[in-house]
Copies of this chain bind each other. A is one copy, B any other.
Amino acid sequence: MGLLTDLYELVMADSYLRHGMNEPATFDLFIRGLPSNRAFLVSGGLEQVLYYLEHLRFDDAQLDYLASLGLFSDGFLNYLRGFRFTGDVWAIPEGELFFPLEPLLEITAPRIEAQLIETFLLNTLNFQVMIASKAARVVLAAAGRGVVDFSPRRDHAADAAMKVARASYIAGCTGTSNVLAGMHYGIPVYGTMAHSYVMSFADELSAFRAFARDFPHNAVLLIDTYDTLQGTRNAMAVAQEMASRGHRLRGVRIDSYESIDELAALSRRVRAICDEAGQTEVQVFLSGDLDEYRIEELLERRAAVGAFGVGTRMGTSEDVPNLGGVYKLVEDSSGPKIKLSTGKATLPGRKQVWRVRGNGGAMHDTIALREEPPPPDATALLAQAMAGGRTITQDSLEAMRGRCHDRLAGLRPALRDLHTTPQPPVGLSDRLQDLRDQMYRTNAGQDAEKRERAKKKTRRRL
């Protein structure tokens, strides 16, 4: 993964090395603003970042390739040969809610190390935060019902399928259809049958019977291949046969619909047929192009549903398919740094984010300088995750999921709304505000001076 980077990171690093510019520097990774219809973001991907930083090396094949480009100095290639990441990492733990401008990750390392890792960090965190934030909305919409990730066939290649399963599980999904993610991350896996299975037998009832015999403990029957109500009755017949053998049908699934209205009504009729057959424990499972908006509509229309399968629209975060996280220098050996451009401002210095929780899920964050004392009753969001290139602690996936569950459970109504983009409940400490304003004035002056100086120099030469 060492070369999973934009070329310019390596080019700039080579130049910094040649010019002896390798003093310690601190970079913030943060999101500039909330995407449309997002009230909060969910941290995700830190574990992969720490693993990458601990294992980042450049092997002979990679160095030979870089040398073949005819771009790099021998000194730089030698530097890469012995490369180890030696820096410190502070981060907002996975599963925690956070907001724009808050440093999700803060890296302090020799400038070249900090520069070389930029692309991978952004690639990893932009994606997992986007998916965890999307999945949290789906979980909120489902209002306590199960949500299973069904997205692998539409995710953006293999790694995305793995990370969607992971990030959506952190956000509160109950599991995934992705078997490799189940094995690799220990996430519960779900899945039963496709329409093609039902069609492969002489009739629907034969298909259901075969399946119930083959998987007596995990049978969810897909009831909409031919006629959904008749499919439900067939499923009930099989449920009774299973009961006579001491087994229990777990559920029935509806995967196709003309409209949300129709699906909601259909689910109630299916529920009624199950209940009339005495199968009150059988879950009705809905799937097919669902997302938080459709789930909300289904429940508003009193759909009778126990759990949802959610695929494409969650796995590609369809309404917000990319997240603009950035990675900016905030401090170097000369002190705090700031970027001035309109709409691209950064916050100077090493920071901490303090969260104060109030009644009814009220929540307010203050971004402060690291050395400031905590405000009363405040909890720190950033924790040190790595020191000198070594990971300090690593949450379990269940701990991350528990954290997110806790935060979502306590969320105040304004932040649960799926259709607005509220002002984030975030402020700056007085000291950070003062430092920024003061640097803004000074730097604006210096930049103007740099511009003037540059103009004069150029004029002299032209």
Contact = CB atoms under 8 A, between A and B. Distances in A.
Contacts of A118: 153
Interface stretch (A188-196, A295-303, A392-400, A404-412): A188-196
Interface in A302-320: 312-313, 315-318
Contacts of A324: 154, 312
Contacts of A16: 200
Nearest to A459: B233
A442 interface: no
A358 interface: no
A10 B178 CA distance: 11
A5 interface: yes
A19 interface: yes
A245 interface: no
A179 B10 contact: yes
The interface centre, meaning the residue of A120, A210, A321 with most chain B CB atoms within 10 A of its CB, is A321
Nearest to A159: B159
A273 to B, nearest CB: 10
Interface residues of A, number: 112
Contacts of A14: 214
Q: Is the interface of A mostly helix, strand, loop or mixed?
A: helix
A3 to B, nearest CB: 4
Contacts of A6: 150, 152-153, 177-179, 191
A234 B454 contact: yes
Nearest to A19: B210
A196 B329 contact: yes
User: Which of the listed residues A180, A454, A458 has the most CB atoms from chain B within 10 Å of its own CB?
Assistant: A454
B15 A211 contact: yes
A160 interface: yes
Interface string A14-31: 111011010000000000
Contacts of A157: 123-124, 127-128, 156-157, 159-160, 162-163
Q: How many copies does the complex hold?
A: 2
A139 interface: no
A5 B154 contact: no
A337 to B, nearest CB: 8
Nearest to A150: B6
A203 B454 contact: yes
Contact of A205 (B19, B128, B339, B454): B454
Contacts of A203: 450, 453-454, 457
A66 B182 CA distance: 10
Interface in A439-462: 447, 450-451, 453-455, 457-458, 461-462
A240 interface: yes
15 contacts: A4-B178, A6-B152, A10-B179, A65-B182, A71-B218, A122-B154, A123-B154, A123-B157, A156-B159, A157-B157, A157-B159, A158-B159, A204-B451, A226-B454, A230-B451
Interface of A: 1, 3-12, 14-16, 18-19, 21, 61-62, 65-66, 69-71, 73, 111, 115, 118-120, 122-124, 126-128, 150, 152-163, 177-180, 182-183, 189-197, 199-200, 202-205, 210-211, 214-215, 217-218, 226-227, 230, 233-234, 236-237, 240, 256, 277, 312-313, 315-318, 321-325, 328-329, 339, 341, 344, 447, 450-451, 453-455, 457-458, 461-462
Top 5 A-B residue pairs of the complex, sorted by shortest distance between their CB atoms = A7-B191, A159-B159, A8-B191, A156-B156, A321-B321
